[in-house]
DNA sequence: CGTCTGGTTGATCTAGATCAACAGGAGTGG
DNA sequence: CCACTCCTGTTGATCTAGATCAACCAGACG
């Protein structure tokens, strides 16, 4: 399921500049490099379980991690997606309480684990890190609240288009014909879990926007045929 | 619309113990007492507008404030309720960016305003305050994410019951007959905005749970007739 | 007295849920 | 190699929860 690859060195890690670790000094970096455990994970692997105590934080180098929330009745929802350059599991660390979500590997990923004790040490050594965590929390809060407001006011089609545009911003490209395109990193059922609907409804939604000529879906590949209209439906504030 | 009442003194303010100001020392408290502006607001007043720059933070002494988000199409949703002992407007202060929501007075309220410059000074003088703000952000994030997950997985009836139970925890009491009861602080249309539905749907929802004998609604007064069942529908994790 | 706001009700429409069937791979094991 | 199951996705038929539009009612307030 997982393999270990200790070759990575945080000093040159390209992801680090976007994480809370960007302010580390040379000696602190050396500490992290020594402390971290780098591993590759296949899709389906679990970084940590909802309800488990926090053992440390996870720095994503590449791949996609989903934060999943399970309720009492066994319903689950994907509440957040995390990609390379993001740190997950930090909230349980800061709050000193159990994880509220589980972290599931959605696409093959390379992730560095840094144990709680080291993070604590770094936090004491470099107060800047605390600031970065605060910023991270604020950013997560803004994003979640925006999605929350969107779900209360917008219909499904608008939320679906918005989700696609988020993906496009992150991993969009131009196809051979110069058209905007993207390769969805998730399967249909995961898209459904992000929107809080059933997989069947995703199928029908895709079919309807396809027949209207807005987008072309070929398995996970999406070609955007009418960007203006897609953006209009998704809503101005992207 | 509003009246000014400078008589309040933060030193004895009962709300302070639950806010980020709980760690203030004597001299810092004196600064706040001097800096703050205490006012009474009627329902409908606006503390700040979505998109406006942050001028300071608002300490709620009593009453209920709603944070409202407006989207491009003019749809609005109530994304958060804030009561006495809570500080609002702190996020725009921390992020140094415009307010993402507007703050609207929902029931007559007494609110202290503390200008940005003073908050900055306090933040420098007492680093504990920064910690408190981080905790506040983390708490808001937890709450919003929990609601977000709930909306994705639960049906309307469950969310409605959950909302009522939240109110009950905060302002519930026992009626003459010893039954659990509460007085809703909001009008029907505001309840609807919290759930992202139409006022007509709230009416019908109330009618249906009433005829089932779960609850009695008399205008804004609610008597809970079958607490076990209400809790079951609301979901275990309250 | 008229007007306005907040709330309820009725009739109808529609978006998703639900349940069931089925199709195409990808393994897996004979 | 084939037969098998598992997994993912699609489609169809039907049902239901809310939206929508319209009417109406009660109280507050000029």
Contact yes or no for B72 and A154 at CB 8 A: no
* Alpha-carbon gap: A223 to the closest alpha carbon of chain B (Å): 26
Confidence (pLDDT) at A74: 84
Taking residues B135-150, report their average pLDDT.
96
Query: Given A73, A95, A145, which is nearest B144 (Cβ)?
Result: A145
Please check whether strand C approaches the CB of A201 to within 7 Å: yes
Categorize the per-residue pLDDT at B115 as very low, low, confident or very high, splitting at 50, 70 and 90: very high
Confidence (pLDDT) at B1: 44
Please check whether strand C approaches the CB of A76 to within 7 Å: no
Confidence (pLDDT) at B47: 97
pLDDT digits (tens, 9 = 90+) for B80-96: 999 999 999 999 999 99
pLDDT digits (tens, 9 = 90+) for A170-224: 999 999 889 999 999 999 999 999 999 999 999 999 999 999 999 999 999 999 9
Exposure letters A103-128 (e unless 16+ CB within 10 A, then b): bbbbeebbbbbbebebbeebbeebee
Average pLDDT, chain B: 92
Please check whether strand C approaches the CB of B202 to within 7 Å: yes
- Find chain B residues with C-beta within 8 A of A147's C-beta: 148
Please check whether strand C approaches the CB of B203 to within 7 Å: yes
Confidence (pLDDT) at A236: 61
pLDDT digits (tens, 9 = 90+) for A94-106: 999 999 999 999 9
Please check whether strand C approaches the CB of A157 to within 7 Å: yes
Taking residues B54-77, report their average pLDDT.
94
For A70, the closest chain B residue by CA position comes to: B149
Q: In angstroms, rounded to a whole number, what is the distance separating the alpha carbons of residues A92 and A85?
A: 19
Please check whether strand C approaches the CB of B169 to within 7 Å: no
- Find chain A residues with C-beta within 8 A of B147's C-beta: 148
Please check whether strand D approaches the CB of B218 to within 7 Å: no
Categorize the per-residue pLDDT at B8 as very low, low, confident or very high, splitting at 50, 70 and 90: low
- Find chain A residues with C-beta within 8 A of B196's C-beta: 151-153
Which residues face A38 on adjacent strands?
Answer: A112
Question: Quick one: which H or E segment has residue B159?
Answer: helix B156-171
For A75, the closest chain B residue by CA position comes to: B153
Residue predicted with more confidence, B8 or B15? B15
pLDDT digits (tens, 9 = 90+) for B165-183: 999 999 999 998 899 999 9
Contact yes or no for A71 and B154 at CB 8 A: yes
Range in A72-76, B99-103, B141-145, B167-171 the model is least confident about: A72-76
Question: Quick one: which H or E segment has residue A65?
Answer: strand A56-70
Q: How far is the CA of B71 from the C1' of C7 (A)?
A: 26
- Find chain A residues with C-beta within 8 A of B144's C-beta: 141, 144-145, 148
Query: Given B91, B138, B235, which is nearest A94 (Cβ)?
Result: B138
Confidence (pLDDT) at A22: 87
Q: In angstroms, rounded to a whole number, what is the distance separating the alpha carbons of residues A197 and A207?
A: 15
pLDDT above 90 for B97: yes
pLDDT above 60 for A5: no
Pick from A106, A118, A101: nearest CA to A48: A101
Q: How many CB pairs under 8 A join A and B?
A: 115
Q: How far is the CA of A234 from the C1' of C16 (A)?
A: 19
* % pLDDT > 90, chain B: 77
Confidence (pLDDT) at A16: 84
Question: In angstroms, what CA-CA distances link A175 with A211, A221, B21, B68?
Answer: 20, 10, 55, 41
B155 close to A (CB below 8 A): no
Angle between the N-to-C axes of helices A26-35 and A116-125, in degrees from 0 to 180, rounded to the nearest 10: 180
Helices (H), A103-224: 116-125, 128-153, 156-171, 188-195, 199-211
pLDDT above 70 for B60: yes
Question: In angstroms, what CA-CA distances link A213 with A171, A208, A222, A230, B80?
Answer: 22, 9, 12, 10, 38
Taking residues A147-174, report their average pLDDT.
96
Confidence (pLDDT) at B3: 47
Contact yes or no for B137 and A134 at CB 8 A: yes
A124 close to B (CB below 8 A): no
pLDDT digits (tens, 9 = 90+) for A14-71: 888 888 888 888 888 888 888 899 999 999 999 999 999 999 999 999 999 999 999 8
pLDDT above 80 for B2: no
């Amino acid at each position: 399921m997982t393999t270990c690859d200790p070759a990575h060195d945080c000093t040159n890690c390209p992801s680090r500049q976007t994480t809370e670790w960007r302010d580390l000094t040379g000696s602190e970096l050396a500490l992290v490099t020594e402390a971290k455990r780098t591993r590759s994970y296949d899709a389906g692997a679990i970084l940590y379980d909802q309800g488990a105590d926090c053992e440390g934080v996870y720095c994503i180098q590449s791949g996609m991690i989903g934060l999943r929330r399970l309720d009492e009745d066994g319903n689950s929802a994907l509440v957040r997606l995390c990609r390379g350059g993001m740190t997950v599991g930090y909230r349980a660390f800061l709050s000193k309480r159990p994880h509220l979500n589980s972290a599931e590997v959605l696409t093959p990923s390379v992730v560095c684990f840094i144990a709680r004790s080291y993070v604590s040490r770094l936090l004491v050594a470099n107060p800047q890190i605390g600031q970065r965590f605060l910023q991270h929390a604020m950013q997560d809060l803004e994003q979640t609240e925006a999605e929350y407001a969107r779900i209360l006011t917008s219909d499904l089609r608008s939320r679906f288009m918005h989700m696609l545009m988020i993906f496009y911003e992150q991993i969009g490209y131009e196809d051979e014909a110069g058209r905007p395109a993207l390769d969805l990193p998730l399967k249909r059922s995961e898209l459904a879990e992000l929107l809080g609907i059933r997989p069947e409804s995703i199928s029908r939604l895709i079919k309807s926007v396809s027949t209207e000529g807005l987008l072309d879906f070929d398995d996970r590949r999406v070609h955007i045929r009418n960007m203006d209209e897609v953006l209009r439906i998704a809503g101005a504030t992207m």
